Amino acid sequence: MANKTAPDSSRRSERSRRAIFDAALALVGEVGYDKLTIEGIASRAGVGKQTIYRWWPSKAAVLLDAFTADADTYRGALPDTGDVAADLKAVLRATVDEFNDPAFQAPYRALAVAGASDEELSRTFVARLLEPGIDVYTDRLRVAREAGELAAGTDVRLGAEMLLSPFSQRWLMRTGELTYAFVDALVDQVLHGLRPRG
Amino acid sequence: MANKTAPDSSRRSERSRRAIFDAALALVGEVGYDKLTIEGIASRAGVGKQTIYRWWPSKAAVLLDAFTADADTYRGALPDTGDVAADLKAVLRATVDEFNDPAFQAPYRALAVAGASDEELSRTFVARLLEPGIDVYTDRLRVAREAGELAAGTDVRLGAEMLLSPFSQRWLMRTGELTYAFVDALVDQVLHGLRPRG
């Protein structure tokens, strides 16, 4: 009996969890972080709001879990073909496609805006999403440094920021287009400075 | 009579203008862009709201003029001592001090947050503040390229973004400290890649 009930209940929970994440991401993109409510998420997901409160203490917690549930599928897995320039271009081109997709970027923008204005929320946002995002690039540059593709003294964390920040800034502040040509030039110009000399 | 009245009236206008700018910058830092109102600015500045409406069509227009009134005092004047690294470090260290000053950064953050969430506002924000800010760095790198301090093929606009975006991202998203050591390392690592080889 326990054997039968547990998987059903677990499948049901997983379905609810996914519905709640989808509802939270869709809603925050539509109404913004300030107007997002647990009630709104529950209604869109077709669950009772007690279901949400049982699992998460706040709308911020729901959203951050929703983002990382997706993010975990690629986290820690920047490609390593032995050609760091090619690998970075491939990943950043895929990221260009994502951030030019209104459905993908709207919830992310809503969370970034909320994080920029709310210092408390930003601590969690940075720790859960931004810092791990910088880390995978830092790690890839470290592997390249160890393989001799980059100079021995390269500050790989700073290198990761030089790659990611111009991208993020263009997207968030709308100071420029996100194109393949832009990320290719960015990767080339950043890596050019980090290559071994002589 | 006209000679006497005109300067008085012009001085009075200039005093009102300055009071309105100061009130707008202080208020937006306190309440955020969404809750900023023309009435609130007028009340804080000690002027009638008709005075504000006579000169500006919207709160966004007041704010952008308030920012550029200050910004115009240093715009277009990045130092040129012939040593591009020293000049960039000097300016970015001064910018570190500004952005670590709560009074300075609060209104700027409020405007950046509003620009990030409001595409219409961001067009003006970018054209009036962000793009001119990138331009002065681009111009300084161009001078360095012409002087042979940077390689002939250097993409100076991209170089400016590699300098400014990591700074802006750390500040806006709170992904890292803004310190002299950070901007010194950033300038060195960016310029290292742009120097002539051989």
What is the DSSP code (8-state) at residue B35?
Answer: T
- Which tokens is A174 given? 């709308």
What type of residue sits at position A172? L
CB–CB of B149/A141 below 8 Å? no
Minimum distance, in Å, between the CA of residue B19 and any CA atom of chain A: 26
| Per-residue pLDDT at A165 | 97
Q: Find the residue in A nearest to B128 (Cα).
A: A175
Q: How many CB atoms lie within 10 A of CB A7?
A: 9
Q: Where in chain A is the domain with CATH 1.10.357.10?
A: 74-194
At residue B198, the pLDDT reads 57
Q: Which residues of A touch B158 (CB under 8 A)?
A: 166, 185-186, 189
pLDDT at residue B71, as a whole number: 62
Selection from B176, B70, B131, B30 nearest residue A117 by Cα: B30
d(CA A18, CA A136): 25
Rounded to 10°, the helix B180-194/A156-173 angle is 90
CA angle A36, A40, A45 (to 5 degrees): 120
DSSP symbols for A137-158: HHHHHHHHHHTTSS-TT--HHH
What's the pLDDT score for residue A142?
95
CATH 1.10.357.10 intervals, chain B = 2-69, 74-194
Output the DSSP codes for chain A. -HHHHHHHHHHHHHHHHHHHHHHHHHHHHHH-TTT--HHHHHHHHTS-HHHHHHH-SSHHHHHHHHHHHHHTTTTT----SS-HHHHHHHHHHHHHHHHT-HHHHHHHHHHHHHHHH-HHHHHHHIIIIIHHHHHHHHHHHHHHHHTTSS-TT--HHHHHHHHHHHHHHHHHH--S---HHHHHHHHHHHHHHHSPP-
Q: Which among A125, A155, A170 has the least Cβ separation from residue B189?
A: A155
| Count of beta carbons in the 10 Å neighbourhood of residue B100 | 13
Q: Report pLDDT for A1.
A: 45
User: What string of pLDDT tens digits covers the 198 residues of chain B?
Assistant: 445 555 677 777 889 999 999 999 999 888 888 789 999 999 999 999 999 999 998 888 898 888 888 665 555 668 999 999 999 999 999 999 999 998 888 888 988 988 898 888 889 889 988 999 999 999 999 999 999 999 888 899 999 999 999 999 999 999 999 999 999 999 999 998 777 665
**CATH class of the domain defined by A2-66:** mainly alpha
Quick one: tokens of A166?
Answer: 């111009």
Q: Higher pLDDT residue, B2 or A194? A: A194
* pLDDT at res. A6: 58
ipTM: 0.85
Q: What is the CATH number of domain B2-69?
A: 1.10.357.10
Q: How far is CA B23 from CA A177, B13, B30, B118, B152, in A?
A: 35, 15, 11, 23, 47
Q: Which amino acid is at A67?
A: F
Q: Is residue B170 packed enough to be buried (19+ CB in 10 Å), middle (13-18) or exposed (0-12)?
A: buried
Asked if residues A41 and A62 have their Cβ atoms less than 8 Å apart, the reply is yes
Look at domain A74-194 and name its CATH class. Answer: mainly alpha
Question: Average pLDDT for residues A121-149, to the nearest whole number?
Answer: 91
| Mean pLDDT of the region A72-99 | 87
B133 by DSSP, 3-state: which? helix
Q: Is B82 exposed, middle or buried (0-12, 13-18, 19+ CB in 10 A)?
A: exposed
DSSP, res B79: -
A8 vs B145: CA distance, rounded Å: 67
**Nearest residue, CB atoms, B158 vs list A155, A174, A186:** A186
Report the Cα A124 to chain-centroid distance in Å: 13
- Which residues of A touch chain B, with CB atoms under 8 Å apart? 32, 109-110, 112-113, 115-117, 119, 122-123, 125-126, 130-131, 134, 155, 158-159, 161-162, 164-166, 168-170, 172-176, 185-186, 189-194, 197
Q: In this predicted structure, what is the pLDDT of residue B6?
A: 59
The reported pLDDT for the residue numbered B163 is 96
Contact B117 A113 (CB under 8 A): yes
Q: Chain A residue closest to B185 (CA)?
A: A158
What per-residue confidence (pLDDT) applies to B102?
A: 86
Specify whether the CB–CB gap between B140 and B84 falls below 8 A.
Answer: yes
The Cα-based distances of B109 to A28, A77, A119 in angstroms read 21, 34, 11
Q: What is the pLDDT of residues A22-81, one digit of tens each?
A: 999 999 888 888 789 999 999 999 999 999 999 998 888 898 888 888 665 555 668 999
Domain span(s) for CATH 1.10.10.60 in chain A: 2-66
- Mean pLDDT value of segment A88-115: 91
Distance from CA of B133 to the nearest CA of A (A): 11
